[in-house]
């Protein structure tokens, strides 16, 4: 019984459920440990190993969610700020949504790992969350999900309808492209070059009119090209205009690791932020700036 073969997809499942890659890895480990201890009781006539593992993982996630708060993005807890000079005070009491490191896992269905979608899922009750992911992402049947949740098919179908109504319209399907899409990558590369050059007009030209920038753990967020540009002028004025950046991916989206000058560092720079970009129709529509240097290790940066 090869349990390890399912680790990557279980990690993506637990991440969708809890919004934290750290929690996801812990819960996958617990799932596999429980499965190993119960391997003598596994009945192949009742379910495949994969289905059996998802039942265990679902129970592990639901138990974990009983003691954990939902993980939002700043745009999920308040209105956009109009003050681009507001103090950047982190809200460390909020368990913010974390990005998912694509490079650490061979995960096929990355479109349903996108930050906006995962953030929306975090607002669902735990069992609705499980039903939505198991049915719409992982393609389990209603009967299989009912079995996994010790529920009825009617109850599963009802929960699915409510969950779909909540997350409907979070992202337009036609706007979702792979991070490796050449046209999308070209936009992100131009953004990176403008960022390294502290070229605010160049950045603004690459933004959609209603672009959103948010910066967990800072609870502020901004909407619109003008405020985005004013905020970036502030960043370069305060932090200086000599940055370095490199491309990566997170949540199946293009991402950028940004580094600040630091004479005390061996190479002259230190980690600043991991920026996860959304691109549609040749323009950046959102940038979630995760100002948590600890994420660099998680992403192997």
pLDDT digits (tens, 9 = 90+) for 104-131: 887 665 668 899 999 999 999 999 999 9
- The pair of three-digit structure tokens given for residue 91, joined into one six-digit string: 């809200």
Same domain, 209 and 133: no
Q: For residue 8, is it within any domain?
A: yes
Q: For residue 21, is it within any domain?
A: yes
Same domain, 24 and 55: yes
Same domain, 144 and 29: yes
Q: Which residues pair with 276 in a beta bridge?
A: 255, 288
Query: pLDDT tens digits, residue range 30-57?
Result: 999 999 999 888 888 888 999 999 999 9
What per-residue confidence (pLDDT) applies to 45? 84
User: Across the chain, which distance is largest between two alpha carbons, in Å?
Assistant: 65
Exposed/middle/buried for residue 273 (C-beta within 10 Å: 0-12, 13-18, 19+): buried
Q: For residue 81, is it within any domain?
A: no
Instruction: Give the number of other Cβ atoms within 10 Å of residue 25's Cβ.
Output: 17
Q: For residue 155, is it within any domain?
A: yes
Flag residues of the chain having pLDDT under 50: 172-176
Q: For residue 82, is it within any domain?
A: no
Query: pLDDT tens digits, residue range 145-161?
Result: 999 999 999 999 999 99
Same domain, 147 and 213: no
Sign of CA dihedral 123, 125, 128, 130: positive
Same domain, 125 and 29: yes
Q: For residue 102, is it within any domain?
A: no
Instruction: Give the number of other Cβ atoms within 10 Å of residue 271's Cβ.
Output: 20
Same domain, 145 and 262: no
Closest CA to 116 of 172, 62, 163, 65: 172
Domain count, the chain: 2
Instruction: Give the number of other Cβ atoms within 10 Å of residue 176's Cβ.
Output: 17
Q: For residue 100, is it within any domain?
A: no
In the block, residue with structure tokens 């399912």: 6
Same domain, 163 and 183: no
CATH number at residue 162: 1.20.140.160
- The pair of three-digit structure tokens given for residue 43, joined into one six-digit string: 């009945």
CATH number at residue 181: 3.10.450.50
Instruction: Determine the structural domain holding residue 291 and report its residue range.
Output: 175-298
């Amino acid at each position: 019984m090869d349990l390890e073969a399912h680790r990557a997809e279980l990690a993506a499942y637990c991440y969708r459920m809890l919004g934290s890659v750290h929690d996801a890895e812990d819960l996958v480990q617990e799932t596999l440990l429980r499965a190993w201890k119960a391997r003598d009781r596994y009945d192949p006539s009742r379910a495949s190993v994969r289905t059996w593992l998802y039942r265990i993982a679902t129970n592990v996630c639901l138990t974990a969610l009983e003691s954990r708060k939902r993980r939002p993005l700043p745009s999920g807890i308040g209105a956009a700020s109009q003050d681009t000079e507001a103090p950047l005070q982190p809200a460390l009491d909020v368990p913010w949504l974390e990005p998912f490191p694509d490079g650490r896992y061979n995960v096929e269905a990355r479109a349903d790992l996108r930050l906006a979608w995962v953030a929306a899922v975090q607002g669902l009750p735990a069992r609705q969350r499980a039903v939505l992911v198991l049915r719409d992402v992982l393609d389990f049947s209603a009967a299989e999900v009912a079995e996994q949740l010790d529920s009825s098919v009617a109850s599963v179908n009802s929960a699915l309808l409510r969950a779909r109504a909540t997350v409907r319209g979070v992202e337009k399907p036609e706007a979702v492209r792979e991070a490796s899409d050449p046209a999308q990558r070209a936009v992100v590369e131009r953004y990176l070059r403008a960022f390294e050059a502290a070229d605010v007009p160049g950045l603004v030209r690459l933004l959609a009119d209603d672009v959103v920038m948010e910066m967990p753990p800072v609870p502020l967020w901004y909407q619109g090209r003008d405020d985005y540009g004013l905020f970036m002028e502030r960043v370069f004025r305060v932090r200086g205009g000599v940055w370095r950046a490199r491309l990566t991916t997170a949540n199946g989206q293009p991402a950028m690791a940004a580094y600040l000058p630091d004479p005390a560092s061996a190479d002259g720079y230190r980690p600043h932020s991991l920026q996860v970009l959304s691109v549609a129709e040749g323009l950046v529509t959102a940038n979630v700036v995760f100002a948590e240097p600890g994420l660099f290790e998680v992403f192997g940066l």
